[in-house]
Each structure stands twice: as structure tokens, then as C-alpha cells.
């Protein structure tokens, strides 16, 4: 049995560093996905990034001669795969066909809350009533912002897709965090990727464009980023941080993700990031922080 530091132990400096690096890597995922879907089909992007990362994860497991997970771990690994390998990338890629990455990043502020809710459902925790007050306020902020934008049709579709993405990702994070205590941090995402590889690789080949000659380097670079960093390297740091320092402590770093993502969307893509958007993101983060405090 692999020995993992107790999640109740104080977070070490290395845990905070690993967690922060994971959050920084994840923060660039939506801007990179936005660049990629401008020239690549969202379905191909989803399948290709999982297939590429799955091949790398398999090589990593073989080189390091990691033992196979126990039979009882296969169900939770499948949930992780459906949540963070397939569900979140697919739903966000589809959403970014309708909304900007800056708009979508506001919803990322709800991801720690989504993870906490599934932690309650899966872990049997019982947060205090104030937790649900902050949860409701945060959800109302996001809903009010989306409705108040005045965008119709496609924007509403994009918002609904982002909400679904946050839900499945929260479930995948909660399951992955539970597994990381016994299976190991980077091993969780590697095995989840390998588990999905027999499905993702054929689908990637089936949905691949007839030729990549017309695809620009920005889109190809974005595909490489979300495949290597968003799907594998980021989780190596993220789950290691959770395993070393505990989910409740190191998980707080995820509250920085909306701000980092908004900064990257503005700097790299030139997307407008107005004060209204920043204010909503700050409000969502404040609500999530309050909810986590009373969890």
C-alpha cells in the first residue's frame, strides 16, 4: 500500500508550491482551448488531447514500473476519467464556440465549490448551514452575471455548457483527491488517462481533419499545451499538492484560477476584461472562500 501524507497534517511548503504550479497550468487551459477551437473541431480537440496525454501517461507508468490499481479503484478511476479526461474538456471546448474564454473563466470560480459539494456527497461530510448560504450567493452571482450580459441564444448555450463542465469536473476532482491518498498523486491521472485511451485514440483518429496543412501554428501549439500540460503535467503537480498538504488546505489555491485565467485571456488573446467581469469573478471567489471556511 502506498504511503500518502495525512490530509489533516499541516501543508508543507512543497505542497503549496506543487498546488500553485498546478493552478497556474490550469489557468491557461481555457485561453489555449479558445485558440484551438477557432481552427480545430471541439470533438477532435477533446479526443486528441486525451489520447496524446494517455499515451504519455502510459509511457510514464511503464518506465517507472508502477503497480496496477486494485479492482476496487477501477470504478473511481472511471469517474475521474469521465469527469476530467472527457467531460470537462469536451464541455468547455463546446462552450468556447459560443463565449469568450474570459466569460467562461468566471464559471471556473465555482469549481472549488463544486468539488466541495461532491466531497460532501461522496465523503459524507456535513458542513455548517453558513456553507450553503455562501454557496447560494455564489451561484446567484454567476447566474445574474450571465443573464445580465444581454447575450442571447449562443451565449446561453455556452453558459449551460460551462455549468455542466463545472459539475463533472468537481466530481472528477473529488474522486481523484480521494484516490490520491492511497494510489498516489500523478498515478491517479495517469491511470485515468490510460483507462480512457482505448476509446479516445480511435475517436481522435476518426474525427481528425483530413489535413493539418490549413491549421495554423497557434492552434497546433494550443493543442500541444492542453494535451501535455492541462491533461497531464498540471494534474501531476495538483494531485501531488493535494496528497502532500491536504485537500482543504491546498485546494484553496484554486481560488486564484479565475484571476490568473482572466489575466492570460487579456494578455494573450486581447479579450476585453472589464471591471464588471473582474468584480463578478472577485465576488464568486469571495463566496467560495466563505463556503470553504464553513465546510
pLDDT in tens, 163-174: 999 999 989 988
Task: Please give the mean pLDDT across all residues of the chain.
Answer: 83
Tell me: the pLDDT tens digits for 17-49? 988 899 899 988 888 988 898 899 999 999 999
Better-predicted residue by pLDDT, 2 or 65:
65
Indicate if the pLDDT at residue 211 is higher than 70. yes
Identify the pLDDT of residue 50: 95
Quote the CA–CA distance of 280 and 258 in Å, as a whole number.
10
Three cell numbers written together for 30: 481555457
Angle 171-177-180 from CA coordinates, rounded to 5°: 140
Indicate if the pLDDT at residue 227 is higher than 70. yes
Decide: pTM greater than 0.85. Answer: no
- End-to-end Cα distance, the chain: 30
Identify the pLDDT of residue 294: 72
Specify whether the CB–CB gap between 44 and 208 falls below 8 A: yes
Amino acid at each position: 500500500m502506498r504511503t500518502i501524507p495525512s490530509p489533516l497534517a499541516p501543508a508543507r511548503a512543497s505542497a503549496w508550491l506543487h498546488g500553485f504550479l498546478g493552478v497556474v497550468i490550469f489557468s491557461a487551459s481555457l485561453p489555449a482551448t479558445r485558440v484551438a477551437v477557432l481552427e480545430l473541431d471541439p470533438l477532435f480537440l477533446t479526443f486528441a488531447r486525451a489520447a496524446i496525454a494517455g499515451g504519455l501517461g502510459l509511457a510514464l507508468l511503464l518506465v517507472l514500473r508502477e503497480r496496477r490499481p486494485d479492482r476496487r479503484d477501477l470504478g473511481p478511476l472511471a469517474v475521474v476519467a469521465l469527469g476530467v479526461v472527457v467531460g470537462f474538456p469536451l464541455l468547455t471546448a463546446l462552450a468556447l464556440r459560443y463565449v469568450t474564454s474570459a466569460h467562461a473563466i468566471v464559471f471556473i470560480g465555482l469549481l472549488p465549490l463544486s468539488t466541495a459539494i461532491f466531497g460532501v456527497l461522496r465523503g459524507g461530510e456535513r458542513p455548517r448551514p453558513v456553507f450553503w448560504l455562501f454557496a447560494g450567493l455564489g451561484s446567484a452571482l454567476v447566474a445574474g452575471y450571465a443573464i445580465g450580459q444581454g447575450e442571447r441564444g449562443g451565449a446561453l448555450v455556452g453558459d449551460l455548457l460551462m455549468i455542466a463542465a463545472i459539475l463533472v469536473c468537481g466530481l472528477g476532482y473529488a474522486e481523484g483527491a480521494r484516490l490520491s491518498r492511497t494510489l498516489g498523486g500523478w498515478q491517479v491521472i495517469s491511470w485515468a488517462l490510460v483507462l480512457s485511451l482505448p476509446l479516445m485514440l480511435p475517436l481522435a483518429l476518426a474525427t481528425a481533419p483530413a489535413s493539418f496543412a490549413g491549421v495554423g501554428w497557434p492552434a497546433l501549439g494550443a493543442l500541444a499545451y492542453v494535451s501535455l500540460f492541462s491533461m497531464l503535467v498540471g494534474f501531476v503537480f495538483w494531485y501531488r499538492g493535494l496528497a502532500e498538504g491536504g485537500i482543504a488546505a491546498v485546494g484553496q489555491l484554486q481560488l486564484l484560477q479565475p484571476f490568473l485565467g482572466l489575466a492570460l485571456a487579456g494578455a494573450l488573446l486581447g479579450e476585453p476584461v472589464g471591471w464588471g467581469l473582474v468584480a463578478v469573478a472577485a465576488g464568486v471567489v469571495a463566496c467560495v472562500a466563505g463556503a470553504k471556511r464553513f465546510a
